[in-house]
Structure 1
Amino acid sequence: MIRPVPHVAAMAPYALADLGSDMTSMAQNESAFPPSPRALAAARGAVTQALLYPDPDWIDLRHAIAETHDLDPDMILCGAGSMELIGCLIRAYAGDGRAVLGTEYSYAFAASAALQAQAVYRQVPESGLTVSIDAILDSVTPDVVLVFLCNPGNPTGTMVPNAEILRLRDDLPEHVLLVVDQAYAEFCDASNDPSGIFALAQRGDTVILRTFSKAYGLAGARVGWSCFPLAIAAQVRKLLNPNNIATASQMMAAAAIRDRAHMREMVRKTEAIRDPFANRCRALGIDVPHSHTNFVLLRFGDANQATEVDQTLKRAGLLMRGMAGYGLPDCLRATICDAPVMEHAASVLKGALS
């Protein structure tokens, strides 16, 4: 029998949400609204280039990102979703007994990527489902080389102010690389100015990750990007797949980020549905942390109640994401969908809990 290498054999597959063909998915944190019309037009225009390999350096896309966020385009790398960038970054800097430090309810793929790299992965307790900067600092040991911070958090939806992240960077040892995953940052950029976080990359010790999958409505295009210190970008670039992002996806993303007005309107519409839904859930006795994302975390009385509610939702054709894999068996995560779906979900929840 041909055997895999031991560390791969010991790994569990990365768990995505279960999807039913006859169900309305509220499990994937996809956008409730379509992408910019400019992005759709760009995709149609890309069809004639399908015979050619895509631009391996994402030149137009990098410049569109740089113009939007006032960044040096040479500091930007693009990936097939931010997952590719996370995996390559951890492989480049962890492994061989080196440790990656995440938080208790941080994005689970960071742990999977650490296992792939044969790195040690440790979780720091959160406080009230919110990242604790002091707990992170207290948990840094000599073998820690990378701290992975998801802000806003997934699956919690909670956020720490950027001023706290600046404090974290100032107090971390110089040899520790800080990675800030901001997949949902567009939902809080207006109140949490990101310029100071991007400026950390200039110091040479911080990486900032973002994605087009959420606020820009391009989950199916698979485009993520990151602002890297130049020396770190050079190492990570070695591990990225050549021609990793299809031409149509590059063109859609570049058009989408240039249409900031559309993105902001989609964020506003999402929030206008999210907050009343969260308040209706709280009125039913469900604990719902304030969310800074396009989803809400619903915390029930115990794991049994969460399971019963989940089954009721499924019978009604609604699929939320169970959170037992994150150590939150009493929780379901609900992606914000269009208003009729959220109205249906609120009604089913009321019936299940009455």
Structure 2
Amino acid sequence: MIRPVAAVAAMAPYALADLGEAGMVSLAQNESAFGPSPRALEAGQAALASAALYPDPDWHALRQAIAEMHGQPRERILCGAGSMELIGALIRAFAGPGDEVLGTAHGYLFTAIASQQAGASYVTVPEPNLRVDVDLLLAAITRRTKLVFVCNPGNPTGTALPNAELLRLRAGLPADVLLVVDQAYGEFDPQDPTPVFDLVARGDTVVLRTFSKAYALASARVGWGLFPETVGGEMRKLLNPNNVSGASQAMAAAAMRDRAHMQGIVARTAAIRTEFVADLRLAGFSVPEPSTNFVLIPFASEEVARAADRALRSGGLLLRGMGGYGLPHALRATIGAAEAMRRAARIIAPFGKDIP
């Protein structure tokens, strides 16, 4: 019998959202409720004429667009087939058997999977009131800790840690521990990202972002990040040299330069989210303040959450259960079209009476 290596045999597959039956409205994958920039679509269409050629392995045009829009050195930017590829490569490069990767109780689940792939231990600390606690992270550092992952704003909580707290975390970490700040939802956070971006110049911090959310390019699979030169050099050894297709690079570069379109997506999403949260709170739900394109909905119990999920499915709506994130009593709702969110709120509202 052919057997996998022990670390792979012990793993469970990464669990994607249940997409349900055809015709149902999915509010389960944190996709954009609105389409990508027309400029991105035009650029992608034009790039298809070069489909016979391998894509640019150094993402020159895309890196230049990111550098210009964010005022960052082009040399610090690396791109991946989604931020998941960058997370996996980071952990494989800097952690292995006997090492620890430190995260938070409700942090992005793929980080745990990537740690298993590398043979490293994934350790978490609690998130009191569904928020990252810097003091708990610092207290959990050991001699085995190699990386600390913080998703900010958080997924699935939606809550955001103030920049000052991230800076305090970095200041308190040992110099040989790499801090990774995953800002997949950073465009929805009103905080200025510059102080966090500036940490990269220290040589011990990485900041990750994606085009899947605010830029509405989830299908294109493009992530990017700011990396210290020494860290980026090791990363390049593990990234597929042709990891982002030519069409995806062209679309992402055009989307990055169409800042007005991205800001429009963020503003429209926030407006629908505000109405949805208000409806839920009026029904008695204690919803954490979100800085993302989704909302976490805590119910009175796991049983009530399951009942609400059944009711939503009967109404043609799919939300995502949060049992895998240690929140079996909660559902996560991606912000979709306004009509779909109003319908979701009407279906969910009666379950608020079960909350003490």
Quote how far apart the aligned CAs of 1:80 are: 0.2
Partner of 1:178: 179
Distance 2:299 2:212 in 1: 28
Partner of 1:9: 9
Quote how far apart the aligned CAs of 1:350 are: 2.6
| Residues 268-308 of structure 1 deviation map (CA, whole Å, 9 limit, x = unaligned) | 00000001101101111222100000000000001100000
Partner of 1:18: 18
SS of equivalent residue, structure 1 residue 271: helix
Quote how far apart the aligned CAs of 1:353 are: 5.1
Partner of 1:248: 247
Q: Tell whether the 8 Å contact from 2:89 to 2:238 is kept in structure 1 after alignment.
A: yes
SS of equivalent residue, structure 1 residue 156: coil
SS of equivalent residue, structure 1 residue 3: coil
SS of equivalent residue, structure 1 residue 170: helix
Distance 1:145 1:352 in 2: 43
The 5 A counterparts of 1:170-249 are: 170-188=171-189, 191-249=190-248
Partner of 2:271: 272
Letter in 2 for 1:44: Q
Q: Tell whether the 8 Å contact from 2:299 to 2:352 is kept in structure 1 after alignment.
A: no
Distance 1:61 1:315 in 2: 43
SS of equivalent residue, structure 1 residue 13: coil
**Residue 109 of structure 1 pairs with residue 110 of structure 2:** yes
Distance 1:312 1:130 in 2: 29
Q: Tell whether the 8 Å contact from 1:302 to 1:330 is kept in structure 2 after alignment.
A: yes
Partner of 2:86: 85
Distance 1:312 1:351 in 2: 10
Q: Tell whether the 8 Å contact from 2:8 to 2:117 is kept in structure 1 after alignment.
A: yes
Distance 1:55 1:123 in 2: 38
Quote how far apart the aligned CAs of 1:254 are: 0.2
> How has the CA–CA distance of structure 1 residues 15 and 271 changed in structure 2, closer, same or farther, with 3 Å as cutoff?
same
**Residue 294 of structure 1 pairs with residue 293 of structure 2:** yes
Partner of 2:281: 282
Distance 1:273 1:228 in 2: 34
| Residues 63-89 of structure 1 deviation map (CA, whole Å, 9 limit, x = unaligned) | 100111111111110000000000000
Partner of 1:124: 125
**Residue 40 of structure 1 pairs with residue 41 of structure 2:** yes
Distance 1:258 1:183 in 2: 18
| Residues 214-236 of structure 1 deviation map (CA, whole Å, 9 limit, x = unaligned) | 00000000000010000000001
Partner of 1:346: 345
Partner of 1:169: 170
Partner of 1:144: 145
Letter in 1 for 2:211: F
Partner of 2:305: 306
Letter in 1 for 2:248: S
Superposed structure 1 runs of 4+ greater than 4 Å apart:
351-354
Distance 1:235 1:118 in 2: 18
| Residues 182-205 of structure 1 deviation map (CA, whole Å, 9 limit, x = unaligned) | 0000011xx311111111111100
Distance 1:196 1:353 in 2: 40
Q: Tell whether the 8 Å contact from 2:283 to 2:350 is kept in structure 1 after alignment.
A: no
SS of equivalent residue, structure 1 residue 193: coil
Letter in 2 for 1:50: A
Q: Tell whether the 8 Å contact from 1:183 to 1:211 is kept in structure 2 after alignment.
A: yes
Q: Tell whether the 8 Å contact from 2:152 to 2:160 is kept in structure 1 after alignment.
A: yes
Quote how far apart the aligned CAs of 1:333 are: 0.0
Letter in 2 for 1:140: I
SS of equivalent residue, structure 1 residue 128: helix
Q: Tell whether the 8 Å contact from 1:312 to 1:352 is kept in structure 2 after alignment.
A: no
Letter in 1 for 2:235: V
Q: Tell whether the 8 Å contact from 1:187 to 1:267 is kept in structure 2 after alignment.
A: yes
Distance 1:274 1:93 in 2: 38
Letter in 1 for 2:141: V
Worse overlay, 202-211 or 338-347: 338-347
Letter in 2 for 1:306: A
Where do 5+ consecutive residues of structure 2 fail to align? none
Q: Tell me the number of residue pairs that the alignment of Structure 1 and Structure 2 aligns.
A: 352
Worse overlay, 342-351 or 88-97: 342-351
Distance 1:95 1:24 in 2: 41
Where do 5+ consecutive residues of structure 1 fail to align? none
Quote how far apart the aligned CAs of 1:160 are: 0.7
Distance 2:128 2:259 in 1: 34
SS of equivalent residue, structure 1 residue 55: coil
Letter in 1 for 2:82: G
Partner of 1:317: 316
Quote how far apart the aligned CAs of 1:108 are: 0.4
Partner of 2:54: 53
TM-score normalized by the length of structure 1: 0.98
TM-score normalized by the length of structure 2: 0.98
| Residues 311-345 of structure 1 deviation map (CA, whole Å, 9 limit, x = unaligned) | 11011110000001111000000000011111111
Letter in 2 for 1:43: G
SS of equivalent residue, structure 2 residue 191: coil
